[in-house]
Amino acid sequence: MNAHEFRRRGKEMVDYVADYLEGVEGRQVYPDVEPGYLRPLLPTAAPQEPETFEDIIKDVEKIIMPGVTHWHSPYFFAYFPTASSYPAMLADMLCGAIGCIGFSWAASPACTELETVMMDWLGKMLRLPAVFLAGEAGEGGGVIQGSASEATLVALLAARTKVTRCLQAASPGLTQATIMEKLVAYASDQAHSSVERAGLIGGVKLKAIPSDGKFAMRASALQEALERDKAEGLIPFFVSLCGSTGVSGPCRGGPAVAGPLSRLPRWSHARWYSGQPASP
């Protein structure tokens, strides 16, 4: 495909996408297929010869669309709204064209710096204290992860690394293995399954804290767990808070658990999990 054909096919794809979104209300929201439906409909090996653009679109409608859950449908009420819009799709086209990988500043300065600035925008929208922002000093800030599950894991691993370094600095004789077997994290019993997976991947104990009648973490239960675990020689280091869940909606337990969290060592980590900045 050369630039001339790309221009032509690109316009056709824009029309296809626009038609899909305008007509998504008429599609069946949840697919009527069984697990494994797709494999018999596809070749057993990658095609050796190219197909025409028209045939590919036909395959999308005939093979792919019957197995798609249409998250943009006005009749889709599960989970949370998908993060897509016409401006976002145009931005994805530009990102795909530039195609840089921002693993370091030198790899693409604009990529790194734009992410830093925009994360500060988000922090200000959430009214976070200045210590959480990068600003010009660069002491805070954040990075965009690929998914909520990935963000949970990165937060837990960062907290685990920080507590390990702090303890080893205070007691050089401590090994990482000794510290790891004593680390314990906490999450609400309403927390997303990604929090539990993060604990498994991170190799640390994760304890579920009971919630109250409004699905918020019970501060008294957290306090009891913290005191009991510290008395047993464990090291509390990570608390995952639920701002909202896919099952119960908004949970307002943040202020209530501030007391127990304020008595934790400075390297403890509290994470606020929410499917969206504001839940209806």
- Which pLDDT tens digit goes with each residue over 168-188? 999 999 999 999 999 999 988
Greater confidence, 7 or 266?
A: 7
Cβ(272)–Cβ(187) below 8 Å: no
Are 113 and 180 part of one and the same domain? no
- Tens-digit pLDDT profile for residues 60-80: 999 999 999 999 999 998 877
Do 54 and 9 belong to one domain? Answer: yes
Together in a domain, 158 and 135:
no
Amino acid occupying residue 231: A
> Does 264 share its domain with 179?
yes
Cβ atoms 190, 251 nearer than 8 A: yes
- The pTM of the full predicted model, rounded to 2 decimals, is 0.76
Q: Is residue 152 part of a domain?
A: yes
Q: Are residues 206 and 157 in the same domain?
A: yes
pLDDT at 273 over 80: no
Q: Is 122 helix (H, G, I), strand (E, B) or coil?
A: helix
The predicted-structure confidence for 248-261, as pLDDT tens digits, reads as follows 554 455 555 666 66
Query: What is the rounded CA–CA span in Å between residue 122 and residue 16?
Result: 33
Asked whether the beta carbons of 24 and 72 are under 8 A apart, the reply is yes
> Half-sphere exposure (CA, 13 Å, Cβ side) for 74?
5
Q: Decide if pLDDT at 26 tops 90.
A: yes
Domain end point (choices 26, 60, 94): 94
130 with 172, same domain: the answer is no
Query: Looking at the structure, do residues 126 and 68 belong to the same domain, yes or no?
Result: no
185 vs 239: CA distance, rounded Å:
6
Q: What is the pLDDT of residue 253?
A: 52
Q: How many helices (H) and strands (E) does the chain have?
A: 9, 6
**What's the total number of domains in the chain?**
3
Give the bridge partners for 250, in sequence order: 244
Task: Give the integer Cα–Cα distance in Å for 259 and 251.
Answer: 17
Q: What is the 3-state secondary structure (H, E, C) of 196-214?
A: HHHHHHHCCEEEEECECCC
Residue 280 located in a structural domain: no
CA distances from 220 to 11, 48, 188 (A): 59, 63, 13
Residue 56 lies in a domain: yes
Q: What is the dihedral of CA 31, 36, 40, 41, to 10 degrees?
A: 30
pLDDT at 204 over 80: yes
Sign of the dihedral through C-alpha 71, 74, 78, 84: positive
Judged on CB neighbours under 10 Å (0-12, 13-18, 19+), 74 is exposed
Is 279 a domain residue? Answer: no
| Burial of residue 179, with CB atoms counted within 10 A of its CB: 0-12 exposed, 13-18 middle, 19 or more buried | buried
DSSP letter, residue 146: S
Last residue of a domain, one of 72, 94, 116: 94
Please count the other Cβ atoms lying within 10 Å of the Cβ belonging to residue 186. 29
* Cα 225 to Cα 207: distance, rounded to the nearest angstrom: 9
* pLDDT, position 192: 81
Mean pLDDT (whole number) for 112-134: 89
Which H or E element spans position 159?
Answer: helix 148-170
Q: Write the CATH number for 171.
A: 3.40.640.10
pLDDT for the residue numbered 132: 85
Calculate mean pLDDT across residues 133-138.
78
- The CA angle 120-124-125, to the nearest 5 degrees, is 115
Report the CATH number that the domain containing residue 28 is assigned in CATH. Answer: 1.20.1340.10
Q: Are residues 140 and 86 in the same domain?
A: no
Burial of 267: CB neighbours in 10 Å, binned 0-12, 13-18, 19+: middle
Is 276's pLDDT higher than 70? no
Query: Mean pLDDT of all residues in the chain?
Result: 85
Owning domain of residue 107: 103-144
State CA 127 to chain mean position distance: 20
Q: Are residues 166 and 213 in the same domain?
A: yes
